[in-house]
Amino acid sequence: MKIMTEEAFDVVVVGSCMTDLVSQAPRLPKAGETIHGHRFFIGFGGKGANQCIQAARMGVKTTMICKVGKDFFGDNYIQNFKDNDVHTEFVRQTSEAATGAASITVNDAGENAIVIVAGANMLLGKDELQEVLPAIRRAKVLVCQLEINSQTSFQALQMARENKVKTIFNPAPAIPDLDSGFYKVSDVFCCNESEAELLTGSPVSNVDEAHGAAQELLQRGCGAVIITLGPQGCVVLTAKASTATHVPAPVVTPVDTTGAGDSFIGALAFYMARHPAMPLEEMAGRANRVAALSVGAAGTQTSFPFRRDLPDELF
Ligand code: ADP
């Protein structure tokens, strides 16, 4: 395929698209149990797409490199990107698998349980990446996760690195035996508590433990580590600093925490592209404020704030 665009993008996301099938219920069902929920809706999700859309809503030029099915959900997803001003030239459609889908249950406390069938996402490969290399080269920031083939994510991060494009890697969903090469191609390695726990093999349930985990992850070769801690915000550790900094989040009443981490990473990508010289701790503090807003509303992308919802001081 010939790449038509000569455009330079602020943020390029190589990642997943998922159609979310969301049920809201008083509590999460146990194994073998059927319970009644009070509401069902279909939403747009997938960590890659979520992060891209949060960055786009804040006002940077974004493109998504991904694969969806040649089906209703795939067509719908492409329209969703267009509606959010995300460039879609590099969104591929395949008839070999269905668009990725996620069955999500949210309880009244805002907690969630999720089953993902990655489908077409897993078919994004080397060949497609080679085709989009010109776009990757011209980007300011490239963002990857692990909801697509991990080789594809790794290759994209490597391509970005070779071309001096800043990288954010979000090792989610976490795999225990993550290839050590991922750390070395990550300018910012950003994960949540459970991912940090799985990667380090030590408990990460409070700020102190997160400080220790950040040190451990930094030693593996990334430029900086951010571990998000839900209502407690995050800890940030850069190669320059000797200790991690705890950056608290604003206090909010959670409505639905689905996608909070993606809102945080999308906002972080925005700041890295727009204000590359800003200290990472400052970017993380601002990203906390963006993500905290997303927690105060229902749904995933539906809860992500637009530029107009955010105060000027965040820009
Ligand atoms: P994930 O969605 O990957 O589990 P977290 O739960 O750590 O990620 O949340 C990511 C970010 O979202 C946090 O660092 C914080 O900025 C914000 N956040 C999440 N939950 C809350 C909350 N209850 N109150 C305020 N901010 C929150």
262 catalytic residue (yes or no): yes
Q: How confident is the model at residue 2 (pLDDT cuts 50, 70, 90)?
A: low
Edge-first strand listing for the sheet containing 112-117:
39-45, 18-24, 101-106, 112-117
CA pair distance 275, 161, nearest whole angstrom: 19
> Does the C-beta of 50 come closer than 6 Å to ligand 1?
no
pLDDT, residue 4, reads 57
For ligand 1, is residue 301 a contact (CB within 6 Å)? Answer: no
Comparing CA positions, the residue from 46, 115, 105, 110 lying closest to residue 81 is 46
Kindly report the backbone phi and psi dihedral angles of residue 197, in degrees, each rounded to the nearest multiple of 5, phi listed first: -65, -45
Mean pLDDT value across the chain: 95
- The percentage of the chain sitting over the pLDDT mark of 90, rounded to a whole number, equals 90
In this structure, the residue with its CA closest to atom 8 of ligand 1 is: 261
Q: Which residue has its alpha carbon closest to ligand 1 atom 5?
A: 230
For residue 272, is pLDDT > 60? Answer: yes
**Rounded mean pLDDT, 96-115:** 91
Q: Which is catalytic among the residues 10, 71, 187, 262?
A: 262
Return the exposure string of 11-31: e unless at least 16 CB atoms fall within 10 Å of the residue's CB, then b. Answer: bbbbbbbbbbbbbbbeeeeee
Determine whether the shortest distance from the Cβ of 43 to ligand 1 is under 6 A.
Answer: no
Query: What are the C-alpha distances in Å from 15 to residues 10, 67, 217?
Result: 16, 8, 22
Of 227, 310, 236, 221, nearest in space to 261 by CA = 227
**Entry pTM:** 0.93
- State both tokens at 69: 């099915």
**CA-to-CA distance for 149 and 123, rounded, in angstroms?**
7
Atom of ligand 1 nearest to the CA of 288: 16
Name the 3-class secondary structure at 188: strand
* Residue 3 confidence (pLDDT): 55
Lowest mean pLDDT across 4-8, 65-69, 267-271: 4-8
Summarize the confidence of residues 87-111 as an average pLDDT: 94
Distance of CA 90 from the midpoint of ligand 1 (Å): 30
